[in-house]
Structure 1
Amino acid sequence: MDGARAWLGEIDPRIWQAVIAGLFLAMGWIVNGWQNRRAAARAKAERLRDLHRAIFAEIETNLANLWDVDALNAYGAEMRARMEADETFVPFIPRERHDRLFDTIVADLSVLPRVTIDPIVKYYAQVGSIAAIAEDMRGEGFRALPQARRIPMYEDYIQMKVQALEYGRVANHLIRVFAADGKAAAEAEATRLSSPSAGRSVP
């Protein structure tokens, strides 16, 4: 033991200074790395919240325009009756574009958790399909079809809107649960909703 103390005492003080400086430098790297990781995690969480808020708002606006399932089906039935009563009647089909915000943030979707990104993408894919069929139905080709072919196309169009309404409700419901109770709660709710017995249980 005394020999070890003697050996340590013989070490050049400059070496001790270098060792101590190295330890402080290493500690600085560790602390700095920890702080950087915390800052990155905080920035990612803030970006996630911002994306969720923006997507929620865009979906919610479209859901309001879609009314509800019963209203959509009632409107579809009314249009079908008019088309059956008048062979020349062609219902007005507005241009459908309800994904302008989504198009601008596609590159950032990897920030979102799987539990919300799946229903969000599912909803917007349906919105894109509606926009495509609406564009077809606005053309002269649709007007030139016999009413017997226009009617089922229009009914498909209405049912696609019904499906978009359901998808949008699920997406926004899971965003809401994630924001209020966290990822685990949202995953549990997604599992519940995917159960065949869940039915239309989205608030």
Structure 2
Amino acid sequence: MELSAWITPAIVAALIAGLVNVAGWFVTYQRERRLETARREEKVRDYITALRAEIRCHNFRWSETEAVEHLAAIAARIEGNPSYTPFVPRDAGNKIYDAIVNEIHLLPAEAIDAVVRYYAQTHSVAEMVEDLRSETYDRLDAARKTAIYRDYISLRTEAGRLASEAEDALNNWRGAS
């Protein structure tokens, strides 16, 4: 039996159809990968834009110059009137960070550290605010109140510095807009 007897037009057609099918799978896979990559980059850009906005909003309120002047004024008021307790409002929170924290791994590696350190600091500031709003703080003597308030301002100032670092890290991403 000759080899040409086995190679009939039907077998050739089946081989060609198989090759076309495999090529189609390959092309479809490549297209899906490109679309998935584009969607991921768009999501990362959106996260970075939102985080930058939230961090910038916080950083605007936490400038070091304002903090030094503010601390001097509050310390003078506490020392002048030991029963005075400064009102410390709660911050709005970290709504954007809290919404995307489970997908923080999508951010550029160089930005994750700076962003996480910043938000850990904002958590410390929020905890300090709760202490400053407590009755225990209200009953402290003037020197202790001033020292604790100084610590609060120091935490806020550090948060401002970390916010600047986080903004820089987010701005330096290749896809940042």
Taking structure 2 as the reference length, the TM-score comes to: 0.92
Identity of aligned residues (%): 31
- Aligned pairs (5 A) from 1:90-109: 90-109=85-104
Q: Give the partner amino acid of 1:161.
A: R
Note if contact 1:88-1:147 (Cα within 8 Å) is conserved in structure 2. Answer: yes
Are the equivalent residues in 2 in contact too, given 1:52–1:175 (CA < 8 A)? yes
Q: Where do 1:48-87 residues align within 5 Å?
A: 48-66=44-62, 68-87=63-82
Q: Cα gap change, 1:38/1:104 in structure 2, threshold over 3 Å: closer, same or farther?
A: same
Residue 40 of structure 2 is aligned to residue 31 of structure 1: no
> In 2 relative to 1, CA 90–18 (structure 1 residues): closer, same or farther, beyond 3 Å?
same
* Residue 117 (structure 1) shift: 1.5
Superposed CA offset, 1:109-151 (max 9, x none)? 1211111111111111111111111011101111112222211
Q: Secondary structure at the match of 1:89?
A: coil
Contact 2:128 2:152 in 1 (8 A): yes
Residues 115 and 174, structure 1, Cα contact 8 Å, conserved in 2: yes
CA contact (8 A) 2:131 2:137 kept: yes
State the distance in 2 between where 1:25 and 1:8 align.
25
Gaps of 5+ in 1: 1-5, 183-203
Match of 1:141 among 112, 136, 141: 136
* Cα separation, 2, equivalents of 1:60 and 1:110: 21
Inter-partner Cα distance in structure 1 for 2:164 and 2:115: 10
In the comparison of the two structures, how many residue pairs are matched? 176
Whichever residue aligns with residue 44 of structure 1, its letter is: R
Instruction: Please tell me the root mean square deviation across aligned C-alpha atoms, in Å.
Output: 1.8
- Report if the CA contact (8 A) 1:58-1:98 is conserved: no
> In the alignment, what sits opposite 2:42?
46
Q: How far is the alpha carbon of 1:72 from its aligned partner? A: 0.8
Q: Which runs of 4+ in 1 moved over 2 A?
A: 6-10, 179-182
